Amino acid sequence: MSRNHHLKELVDSIKKTDEMITMHKNAGTSQLILGQYKAIKAKQISELIDSLPNRFELTAEMKAILDERFLEDKETNLGAEEIINRLNKKYHS
């Protein structure tokens, strides 16, 4: 299977999982089920990122920013869903 075909399949899988999340949110499904779908989506996104060409190394500045974020108060951190929503809004608006 070509790399492009594999990437397209991953994107399609992520879209389908996202549709399932939306459907279950609207149906009032339990948080456990929603959490499972969100975990599946996170795994799919991770696989997609790992499959992308031209991976890069983090600079010292990027590592320092990540270290700072890691040490922040957990209650003020954004959740994964909020981060994804903001990225979607930023890059797909």
pLDDT recorded at residue 40: 93
**48 near 7, Cβ under 8 Å?**
yes
pLDDT tens-digit series, residues 38-64: 999 999 988 888 887 776 677 888 888
What is the residue extent of each domain of the chain?
1-55, 57-93
Question: Does the pLDDT of residue 1 top 60, yes or no?
Answer: no
User: Rounded mean pLDDT of 14-21?
Assistant: 90
Reported confidence tier of residue 2, pLDDT bands at 50, 70, 90: confident
More confident residue, 3 or 49: 49
Q: Among 59, 56, 53, 47, which Cα is nearest to 17's?
A: 47
| CA separation for the pair 25, 34 (Å, rounded) | 7
Supply angle C-alpha 93, 16, 41, rounded to 5.
85
